[in-house]
Amino acid sequence: MSGFREWHNGMSYQVLARKWRPKNFAELVGQEHVARALINGLDSERLHHAFLFTGTRGVGKTTIARILSKSLNCHSGVTSEPCGQCSACVEIDEGRFVDLIEVDAASRTKVEDTRELLENVQYAPTGGRYKVYLIDEVHMLSRHSFNALLKTLEEPPPHVKFLLATTDPEKLPVTVLSRCLQFNLKKLPAADIVQRLSYILQQENIDFDESGLRLLARSAEGSMRDALSLLDQAIAFSGGQVADSEVRNMLGTIETGHIYGLIEQVHHNDAAAVMQTVDALDERSPDYSDVLAEMISILHHVAMEQQVAGCMTEDWDDPDRIQAFATDISPQDVQLYYQIALQGRDDLRLNPVPREGFEITLLRMMAFRPWQEKSVSQGMAASPASAGSSAGRMPSSSVAPTNSVPSDSSRAASGGSSSQPSDWLEIFNALDLRGRSRQMAANCQLEAIEGDIVRLILDQSHANMLSEGAKQKIEEALTGFFGRSMKVRIQPGIVSSETPMQREQRQDKECQAAAIESIQQDENVRMMEEVFGATVAVDTVQPVDKSQESSG
């Protein structure tokens, strides 16, 4: 716990992001492509006068710039391996090297600031080999400031180097970009961040759980600086260590065991168990959007594992569970769960009660599984896996099969007849619809009829058709069909059975194929092919409309 004692001493403590900032190219993490280019340039003494480092926050832009400054001014000569001991190296590390002029462009955007900065460019360095201008967030400079800088970039003195850093290179004028050697720094992989955090904690003699480090790495989103800041916070929060449970409490994340349990319960259609798990989650007041995000990430790992075994599980908290899911859950189900979770996360912002939106998302996963045989009996829906037990069943109004229809008893209760059409294809053909409303209805599938409410699923590839006007016309047509006032609820999603439009397209293809076959089998056509070498232009063949043929 000596690391904690050092932290606890207050004034003597230096934050990890500064204490463990790389001091040479060998210590850099995850930016090997940039380090290699700079090392080769330094070793061969082929150095550009202006360098531009781009990338998101905390990936090492200014760190690399400082290392390059040491390489240029080290007393041992221009080298890719600065000694770190001479006065130039030490002063650069401590931020007090007189010939390294660091500028935050965000706070010095005026052209007067830039001109004042560049006034001394012509003078030789005071104590170093090169005068280095490190301009951070250079994209924040004004247009006039860029013009002032451009003149110096075009004709730089031999003793001056410009190191520019930005998170938004798109805002830089092309005239500036064309005069710089550009390096794009990438976000750091979580595995690299975990490895670095682990090394630092070992050097600091601080106990840690590797699973906790993985949580910190994922939260850092590719930024090593953010990861180190979170690590500092976790050490303080946990009282001098980095424990998985404490990190979860600090970040507000949920135990992955709950997420694994939900996926397993959904897959087994055990709605009662799902609701119990949701109750347990709710006690911790979670952000349900984050819960769905965790579920999406797990399902992504499962899908990747199914396609390329072992490619995604080595850095995950529980690779054994991922591999088990990859074996037990079909790829179709994984893709369906993923899509519904993704859509559900987007829908949460529209729901005034987030828990309800989360529950509906889970119920959709159980309801919209067309390849899972389901039955509708006395208002209950059950899968083969749960047919022997009522524990996993939910009312059909809550969990309806994708192409569910009302039972005879529900029809009778609503004033209908048991012989009333319940197939959407049959209902659609009887509706008096035209234009956009007909197109929208043709791309729908019946989910359920619940009293006076008709629930439809609109093929998500045609979600742009959804409009209030078209929906109102469908309601009017259904009111006329059923003989009572009807309401329509339309939700974009994955259709599992043939829509009227898909049936029409299929029938057109079948008619086209039959027409081509009929012509190719015709004796006269075959004779012309044999005698004259003729061929049938199949793309010009059109099936005859029998109704028009008979009326003509």
pLDDT tens for 76-101 read: 999 999 999 999 999 999 889 999 99
Q: Does domain 256-386 have CATH number 1.20.272.10?
A: yes
For residue 538, pLDDT beyond 80: no
Q: In the CATH scheme, what architecture does the domain 402-497 have? A: 2-Layer Sandwich (3.30)
- State how far the alpha carbon of 434 is from the alpha carbons of 329, 469, 476, 477, in Å: 42, 12, 12, 10
- Domain 2-10+189-251 sits in CATH at 1.10.8.60
From the list 82, 78, 81, the residue with the least C-alpha distance to 91 is 82
pLDDT for res 411: 38
SS3 of residue 164 by DSSP: strand
Distance between CA atoms of 139 and 36, rounded to whole angstroms? 26
SS (H, E, C) 346-411: HHHHHCCCHHHHHHHHHHHHHHCCCCCCCEEECCEEECHHHCCCCCCCEECCCCCCCCCCCCHHHH
Q: pLDDT for 413-444, tens place per residue?
A: 333 333 344 589 889 988 989 888 899 999 99
Distance between CA atoms of 378 and 368, rounded to whole angstroms? 20
For residue 410, pLDDT beyond 70: no
Range 244-266 average pLDDT: 84
pLDDT for res 544: 62
What integer best gives the mean pLDDT of the chain?
81
What the block records as the tokens of 467 is: 């409009």
Range 506-520 average pLDDT: 84
Q: Flag whether the pTM goes above 0.85.
A: no
pLDDT for res 258: 85
Range 35-64 average pLDDT: 92
Range 66-84 average pLDDT: 93
pLDDT for res 541: 67
What the block records as the tokens of 80 is: 């890719």
For residue 274, pLDDT beyond 90: yes
Distance between CA atoms of 363 and 357, rounded to whole angstroms? 10
Dihedrals φ, ψ of 211, to 5°? -65, -35
State percent of the chain over pLDDT 90: 38
Residue 63 banded pLDDT, cuts 50, 70, 90: very high
SS3 of residue 313 by DSSP: coil
CA 512 to chain centre: 42
- Biggest CA–CA distance in the chain, Å, is 102
> Where along the chain do its domains lie?
2-10+189-251, 31-184, 256-386, 402-497, 502-551
Helix axes 354-367, 271-282, angle to 10 degrees: 160
Residue 218 banded pLDDT, cuts 50, 70, 90: confident
From the list 476, 464, 470, 423, the residue with the least C-alpha distance to 446 is 423
CATH number, domain 31-184, options 3.30.420.40, 3.40.50.300, 3.40.640.10, 1.10.260.40: 3.40.50.300
Q: pLDDT for 447-501, tens place per residue?
A: 888 888 999 999 988 888 888 888 999 999 999 998 899 999 998 888 888 899 9
pLDDT for res 78: 92
Q: pLDDT for 103-161, tens place per residue?
A: 888 777 677 777 877 888 888 888 889 999 999 999 988 888 888 888 888 888 899 99
- State how far the alpha carbon of 8 is from the alpha carbons of 4, 15, 147, 232, 440, in Å: 6, 12, 50, 12, 66
Residue 184 banded pLDDT, cuts 50, 70, 90: very high
Q: List alpha helices for 10-121, DSSP H.
A: 16-19, 32-43, 61-73, 87-93, 111-118
- State how far the alpha carbon of 361 is from the alpha carbons of 298, 349, 374, in Å: 16, 13, 19
For residue 188, pLDDT beyond 80: yes
Distance between CA atoms of 134 and 150, rounded to whole angstroms? 15
